């Protein structure tokens, strides 16, 4: 008895949600992934080997069109041709054709290929959430139809309101479209519409510039997500920048850090007076996260400096960090500016006394007489503060840090 074909209906295709393959007969299947996305595939045997040929997403190819494509594939088989080879030959003969690969399909493929590079499930989830939530209007569009206006439409609502999220989104859209070009779904001579330099940088509103003399600073609410991105960059500049953020130290203090200034047992970094702006020795309490960076680097130590550059007897240059921020498409922050983010967080989110917060930044508080009588540097109060800051950056529970009503801070 002949196999039944045309099992599905247009309404049935729209109503189906169960993940898996749903047969229309004659080798045509509606495939639904675990996220509910639907695409058409044609299954056939060629020289004894089972083959699968994609026919496009169901959002763009309705049931009627999918059946037409399946009919063509069946005719190719009847004529002794491999349907996929025959389709490619027709495309080559007819010139460039519109791609049936959607942005969503390409995003899925890219994320699957990058999974081995990502350190944790949280980062994978952030990639998917960002693309599925904020780039939703692009998801069902063929990749070769996505132009500058389409990219701007998803970026503009976020660009001023949530700049760090918008920056991550732009970079990920650019990655997906680059992957689509590499796969041949977009002509190689077409520029990426999501690129920033020389393109979107001229079309998106510029961020507000800070008053003269101030360093560009990222909003503290955006810093945890930035840290996650930073950890993807396995270069010395990224290690130095994360350490600077965790310690709220000045860029020169971090880049000039030496191993003999680190006390691993006491969890303290002591910066000698000649290297301090105020000319006074400064002790920095180290959180476990900051210590972890130092421990990793101690295993590959090559000289006196903690953060070495190309030449192991010299420290990393500030330009290296600047170039890193450029590569990450971060235009609204500098290495020094993260001190402002820390200070804003301290003032808005904790009950830290002003003198403790300022001591954490190695700022002088009060007149000369007051400074002379204040001999303590509040190291343990600052230690609890830095533990809370590290927990915030990791988005961890900071309940082990107690902010007392009196304003003092202690670790429980």
Q: Where are the domains of the chain?
A: 10-94, 103-202, 220-411
Q: What is the pLDDT of residues 13-32, one digit of tens each?
A: 888 888 889 999 999 999 98
Could you give the CA distance from residue 335 to residue 316 in angstroms, rounded to a whole number?
13
User: Tokens 């001023």 appear where?
Assistant: 160
Architecture of domain 10-94: 2-Layer Sandwich (3.30)
Quick one: what percent of the chain has pLDDT higher than 70? 84
Q: Give pLDDT, residue 2.
A: 46
Q: 367 vs 146, 372, 397, CA distance in Å?
A: 61, 9, 38
Beta-ladder partners of 25: 28
Which pTM was predicted? 0.48
pLDDT at 10: 83
- pLDDT for 184-229, tens place per residue? 888 877 789 999 888 888 888 875 543 334 455 688 888 898 899 8
pLDDT tens-digit map of 135-177: 999 998 898 889 888 999 999 888 877 777 888 899 999 999 9
Q: Do domains 10-94 and 103-202 have the same CATH topology?
A: no
Residue 410 pLDDT level (bands cut at 50, 70, 90): very low
Asked if residues 285 and 268 have their Cβ atoms less than 8 Å apart, the reply is yes
Can you list the positions of beta strands (E) in 171-303? 262-263, 268-271, 282-285
> Residue 67 burial (CB < 10 Å; 0-12/13-18/19+)?
buried
**Portion of the chain with pLDDT greater than 90, in percent:** 25
Distance (Å, whole) CA 210 – CA 312: 36
End-to-end CA distance of the chain: 77
Give domain 220-411's CATH superfamily: Intergrase catalytic core (1.10.443.10)
Q: How far is residue 202's CA from residue 204's CA, in Å, rounded to a whole number?
A: 6
Q: Tell me the three state secondary structure of residue 103.
A: helix
pLDDT at 188: 72
Task: Give the integer Cα–Cα distance in Å for 334 and 328.
Answer: 12
* The CATH number, out of the four listed (3.90.1150.10, 3.30.930.10, 2.30.30.60, 1.10.150.130), of the domain defined by the range 103-202: 1.10.150.130
């Amino acid at each position: 008895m002949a196999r039944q074909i045309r099992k599905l209906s247009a309404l049935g295709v729209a109503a189906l949600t169960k993940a898996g393959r749903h047969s229309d007969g004659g080798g045509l299947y509606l495939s639904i992934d675990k996220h509910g996305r639907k695409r058409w595939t044609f299954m056939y045997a060629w020289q004894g080997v089972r083959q699968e040929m994609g026919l496009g997403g169901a959002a763009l190819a309705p049931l009627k069109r999918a059946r037409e494509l399946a009919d063509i594939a069946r005719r190719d088989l009847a004529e002794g041709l491999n349907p996929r080879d025959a389709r490619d030959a027709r495309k080559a003969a007819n010139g460039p054709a519109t791609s049936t690969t959607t942005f969503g399909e390409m995003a899925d493929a890219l994320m699957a290929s990058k999974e081995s590079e990502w350190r944790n499930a949280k980062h994978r989830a952030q990639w998917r959430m960002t693309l599925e939530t904020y780039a939703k209007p692009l998801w069902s569009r063929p990749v070769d139809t996505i132009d500058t206006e389409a990219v701007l439409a998803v970026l503009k609502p976020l660009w001023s309101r949530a700049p760090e999220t918008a920056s991550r989104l732009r970079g990920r859209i650019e990655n997906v479209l680059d992957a689509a070009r590499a796969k041949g779904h977009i002509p190689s001579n077409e520029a990426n519409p999501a690129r920033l330099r020389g393109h979107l940088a001229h079309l998106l509103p510029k961020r507000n510039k800070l008053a003269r003399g101030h360093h560009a600073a990222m909003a503290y609410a955006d810093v945890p997500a930035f840290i996650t991105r930073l950890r993807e960059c396995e270069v010395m500049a990224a290690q130095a920048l994360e350490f600077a953020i965790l310690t709220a130290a000045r860029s020169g203090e971090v880049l000039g850090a030496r191993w003999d200034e680190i006390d691993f047992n006491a969890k303290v970094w002591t910066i000698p007076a000649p290297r301090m702006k105020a000319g006074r020795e400064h002790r920095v309490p180290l959180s476990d996260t900051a210590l972890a960076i130092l421990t990793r680097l101690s295993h590959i130590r090559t000289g006196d400096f903690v953060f070495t550059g190309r030449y192991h007897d010299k420290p990393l240059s500030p330009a290296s960090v600047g170039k890193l921020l450029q590569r990450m498409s971060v235009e609204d922050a500098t290495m020094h500016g993260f001190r402002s983010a820390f200070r804003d967080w301290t003032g808005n989110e904790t009950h830290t006394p002003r003198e403790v917060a300022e001591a954490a930044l190695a700022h002088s508080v009060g007149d000369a007489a007051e400074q002379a009588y204040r001999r303590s540097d509040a190291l343990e109060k600052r230690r609890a503060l830095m533990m809370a800051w590290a927990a915030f950056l990791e988005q961890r529970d900071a309940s082990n840090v107690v902010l007392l009503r009196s304003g003092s801070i202690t670790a429980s």
